Amino acid sequence: MQTRKYPFLEDHGFVVTSEISGGYLPDYYIVTLTSSYFFLKYGLERFTAFIEIASNSDNDRWYDLTLVKALLHEGTTLDKKPDTSELELFLRSDFPKIKDLFSSVNYSQTKVKLDNLVKIRLRQMFPGLKDRF
User: In the predicted model, what is the mean pLDDT of the chain?
Assistant: 87
Give a yes or no: residue 33 inside a domain. yes
Give a yes or no: residue 15 inside a domain. yes
Domain limits for position 115:
7-132
- What integer pLDDT is reported at residue 102 of this predicted model? 97
Give a yes or no: residue 61 inside a domain. yes
Give a yes or no: residue 80 inside a domain. yes
Residue 29: band (very low, low, confident or very high) from pLDDT cuts 50, 70, 90: confident
Biggest CA-to-CA distance, the chain: 55
pLDDT above 70 as % of the chain: 89
- What integer pLDDT is reported at residue 76 of this predicted model? 67
Whole-angstrom CA distances from 110 to 36, 42, 59, 93, 106 are: 17, 21, 14, 19, 6
First to last CA, the chain: 50
Mean pLDDT of all residues in 100-124: 93
| Total number of domains in the chain | 1
- What integer pLDDT is reported at residue 28 of this predicted model? 78
Report the candidate in 45, 4, 33 with the shortest Cα–Cα distance to residue 91: 33
- What integer pLDDT is reported at residue 1 of this predicted model? 40
Give a yes or no: residue 2 inside a domain. no
> What is the separation of C-alpha 113 from the centre of its chain, rounded to a whole number of angstroms?
15
Alpha-carbon dihedral angle through residues 83, 108, 57, 9, given to the nearest 10 degrees: 30
